[in-house]
Chains A and B, each alone.
Chain A
């Protein structure tokens, strides 16, 4: 097992290098650069920047150098000094900007994940055990309804209802009073009071798919001979269900944890924009639109790293819960 993990971690090094190169290449692909976008933004507000100032800016940001040199400066800074560069737009170090938002993003995504699983797994099991029953149809219908409603629409409706009928502002993750306040018990309470709205919206959207997957997995397992064996032993249906088919039906779901990690950054962007949530998604979007290349690059690199780490985590988890994989 230790050898397996070591091998996988070693493999991650060349993958990451290749991926970082690709990410840097991709953010340079759109025509123009940050200065072009910057000039265009200023022009829109009737400020004219002359060619010389633009050229000076390019010099200062190192945008005139060949691609490979820029890449080397960027990647060596990260590797040698842990320096992700400077965000052009925010005029701040990229690392500070990212870490500030990652904590809240992590909180939001994990709560959503937990809620989704807590709702979807029992319902999935129920609809499989009572296949084609009234409950199966009702839950399936509700779940598909949740899938079909765009999450930003649900967000808008919820916000509208909250403001008009409850007189409460549910956008953001903090009330204005706590926006910049240092952490305290009251701030945490405030956070929790706000958190449930986006979590519910996002969970409603993700539940349907998971219910269907769990239901299908369970239906596969329910008629396996080992279930009959367990029944012939005299186990009660409920204990039998939890111990054998549910255990095996969850295995494939564990591997999905892997690709949920990169979702930390890119997921929930639309809802976050609508509800002005201070998480990573909107910041990445903004960075991409402004061609703020070091900020965007750092995000892309982080996503790729998270993907690789997530896959590794999934594989380790799967090996832990499924002996067949461990011994293969």
Chain B
């Protein structure tokens, strides 16, 4: 059995000395990679899965370091080597990196240098480890780009990363990792930053490359759906420790650890509509609060003597939708489909270049947000609020929670002093944050708590419409359902109209009454969520739905998915 192991980690400890004491990021982890197979390491943020992977290459960010344990590398025809004993700057470890063990990372944009050409970055590893000439490295780079299915590789090697789409960048990254035929590939959340359809393609590609090369793969992810799709073996990690490990079928069919069960439970929970929504009595459908007609948002395209003309982009290209009070409308689509731009048009952060957005006020009067100015616009904006994607970047780190939540009330002159404090306290209570912590700063809160603070801020002005732009995509799965439930509860309480923008079809299914599927600035399909999810009509919707990995290793279907190629 041990002969099949390409890598054997035994009782690994990695610590980060901090001012508050030693943080044990990896605390006695043992796991092994079977030769030629895919081992998925799954866990939420802070589980130590990335640090474990980086320990193998000794590229842990300082001040972290390996404080114990062994990392045994078993290459064919060579003696066993304990990587943990090598110095992080030693020649020996440098020869392993990129040569025997290669790594790909989560964010393909920032993980590649923006000022060096793709071919140069790929060829670098080849020249470094195989000692070939610049010209040979160049043709090898082109060859590799062809292997990862990048069109026109001869041309692509002289391009820069920002000229590539996200999926292409990740392909280039994979090409770079494969440059020296490594026996082990470590993939650290390689598809997390990608759209589901692109994710499906990358997973497909990785699997094919692995089969062709007999490569051993360590795949780090937080997504149980991805695990089910590609893993042979699974290691579940939490807080620096291994909770459970085993073959994928056993683990999914009979999870023994409570944490594994929780992870799986959260995923399956998002597979069906929320219990809160199902428990609702059917409500009378009122007139639409918001009514969009042929909304258009174009960027660029102006030309002049002193202005650079560029191609015109139609981010939103004639969209008509109705949103009713108390309903949740989902807007789903890939990045670049214009869903975020649409949300910004509704808030009038952007000025739409065409169409009308009729907003029905409380007193029944209707104003067109596209042409509204000054007081009318300000009044409408008070009632249409936003919840942002990134709970870290959307809260000012220099303001206390009380200031953040109270700011809308203060700048609109609606409350001050003790009244303001009272309102802030009740808002925080409503979203489940202890009002006694209102004087603390955002960094003292977890991601999920911060998103609750963001929701409290959106609620401050008693809005009637909330636009939530990917409110859960930066959160761990275990917190996702809870945050969405909170929004649903608030909706019941306040009769809110919610517009939920998301690329994640499971979030849409969980939350939304109706859904609009966007593709390239247009709505290709709308309807009741259940109907669209179960019986999609448009080819693009089918492709989108079939690309979502399901947490069921017995029904792998990614290779059977629909592909949509639009003109």
Contact = CB atoms under 8 A, between A and B. Distances in A.
Interface stretch (A26-34, A55-63, A67-75, A230-238): A230-238
B94 A11 contact: no
Interface stretch (B39-47, B101-109, B394-402): B101-109
Nearest to A228: B59
Interface string A256-280: 0000000000000000000000000
Given A10-B306, A11-B306, A323-B160, A233 B113 contact: no
B107 A233 contact: no
Contact of B124 (A10, A223, A235, A327): A235
B136 interface: no
A228 B111 contact: yes
Contact of B125 (A224, A233, A244): A233
A234 B111 contact: no
Given A226-B110, A232-B98, A235-B94, A248 B115 contact: yes
Contact of A233 (B61, B97, B162, B306): B97
A237 to B, nearest CB: 6
A69 B505 CA distance: 74
A226 B160 CA distance: 14
Contact of B102 (A232, A237, A323, A324): A232
Given A7-B306, A234-B94, A324 B115 contact: yes
Interface string A203-228: 00000000000000000000111101
B176 A233 contact: yes
A234 B98 contact: yes
Contacts of A232: 57, 59, 97-98, 102-103
A76 to B, nearest CB: 26
Contacts of B113: 226, 230, 244, 247-248
A231 B162 CA distance: 21
A10 B89 CA distance: 53
Contacts of A225: 105, 107, 110-111
B484 interface: no
B308 to A, nearest CB: 8
A100 interface: no
B114 A234 contact: no
B106 to A, nearest CB: 8
A73 B286 CA distance: 77
Contacts of A229: 103, 105, 111-112, 173, 176
Contacts of A327: 160, 162-163
A235 to B, nearest CB: 7
Interface in B283-342: 305-306, 308
A130 B487 CA distance: 48
A322 to B, nearest CB: 6
A241 to B, nearest CB: 12
A230 B112 CA distance: 8
A135 interface: no
A138 interface: no
Q: Which of A225, A226, A244, A324 has the most CB of B within 10 A?
A: A226
A163 interface: no
B128 interface: yes
A157 interface: no
B129 interface: yes
Nearest to B112: A226
Given A224-B110, A234-B128, A323 B98 contact: no
A236 B94 contact: yes
A244 B94 CA distance: 17
Contacts of A243: 116
Contacts of B543: none
Contacts of A236: 89, 94
Contacts of A323: 114-115, 160, 162
Contacts of B173: 229
Nearest to A11: B306
A85 to B, nearest CB: 32
A323 B305 CA distance: 24
B125 A234 contact: yes
Contacts of A244: 113, 116
B95 interface: yes
B550 interface: no
A114 interface: no
A321 interface: yes
A238 B126 CA distance: 18
A81 B116 CA distance: 48
B99 interface: yes
B539 interface: no
Nearest to A238: B89
Given A7-B306, A223-B61, A225-B105, A234 B115 contact: no
A217 B4 CA distance: 47
Contacts of B205: none
A319 to B, nearest CB: 12
A236 B129 CA distance: 12
B115 A247 contact: yes
Contacts of A235: 94, 124, 128
A230 B59 CA distance: 10
B96 interface: yes
Interface string B157-183: 000101100000000010010000000
Nearest to B58: A231
A322 B112 CA distance: 14
Contacts of A230: 113, 124
Interface string B44-64: 000000000010010101000
Given A7-B306, A244-B113, A323-B115, A231 B128 contact: no
Contacts of B305: 7, 10
Contact of A324 (B61, B111, B114, B124): B114
B107 A234 contact: no
A235 B95 CA distance: 9
Given A223-B61, A226-B113, A322-B115, A234 B306 contact: no
Contacts of A233: 97-98, 102, 124-125, 128, 176
A172 to B, nearest CB: 44
B374 to A, nearest CB: 34
A247 B103 CA distance: 23
Interface of B: 54, 57, 59, 61, 89, 94-99, 102-103, 105, 107, 110-116, 124-125, 128-129, 160, 162-163, 173, 176, 305-306, 308
6 contacts: A226-B111, A226-B113, A230-B124, A234-B95, A234-B97, A247-B116
Interface of A: 4, 7, 10-11, 223-226, 228-237, 243-244, 247-248, 251, 321-324, 327
Given A229-B176, A235-B94, 6 more contacts: A4-B308, A11-B306, A224-B110, A232-B102, A248-B114, A323-B160
Would you list the 8 A-B pairs with minimal beta carbon distance, nearest first?
A234-B97, A233-B98, A234-B98, A225-B111, A232-B103, A225-B110, A234-B94, A226-B113
